Structure 1
């Protein structure tokens, strides 16, 4: 598995990556995703983008991740 990477070529500090990894790991645990799964990777990309947009608090990142999963599930369900 590739490590989390910044998308805007903005380097993330080691402590930033550690925080993102903790949130990512928690979401993978909660949703029982293998870390290499497509769902986990999409969520990881969203977390990095959210972090780079200014959401650096782990608790808020976790809420953003859960919201992302919830929206993804709603969008896939037939109306």
Structure 2
């Protein structure tokens, strides 16, 4: 599998990509997304943006990813 890439001009070091990949893989496993699906890629971009905004801890990134997914799913559910 190809590693995640940054969406901005900020360079990510190999250890940054490794951390992001671990969190991305875990989210994909938890939500049962194919890793190359559009949905998984969307959340992968969100993880990169969160990382570049300063969230470096993998547990916090995972929590942010889960929160982002949960909010996205709540918006799509009919009231």
| TM-score in same-fold range (> 0.5) | yes
Q: SS at the partner of 2:43?
A: helix
Q: SS at the partner of 1:36?
A: coil
Instruction: After TM superposition, give the deviation of residue 7 of structure 1 in Å.
Output: 1.7
Q: SS at the partner of 1:64?
A: helix
Instruction: After TM superposition, give the deviation of residue 30 of structure 1 in Å.
Output: 0.5
Q: TM-score, normalised by structure 2?
A: 0.94
Aligned length: 79
Q: 1:22-47: CA deviations, max 9, x gaps?
A: 00000000011100111110110000
Q: TM-score, normalised by structure 1?
A: 0.94
Instruction: Please name the residue that 2:25 is paired with.
Output: 25
Give RMSD over aligned pairs. Answer: 1.1
Given that 2:3 and 2:17 are in contact with CA atoms closer than 8 Å, whether structure 1 keeps it comes out as: no
Within 1, Cα distance between the matches of 2:70 and 2:78? 15
**Structure 2 segments unaligned to the other structure (5+ residues):** none
Map 1:1-79 → 2, pairs under 5 A: 2-79=2-79
Instruction: After TM superposition, give the deviation of residue 2 of structure 1 in Å.
Output: 4.9
**Structure 1 segments unaligned to the other structure (5+ residues):** none
Instruction: After TM superposition, give the deviation of residue 77 of structure 1 in Å.
Output: 1.1
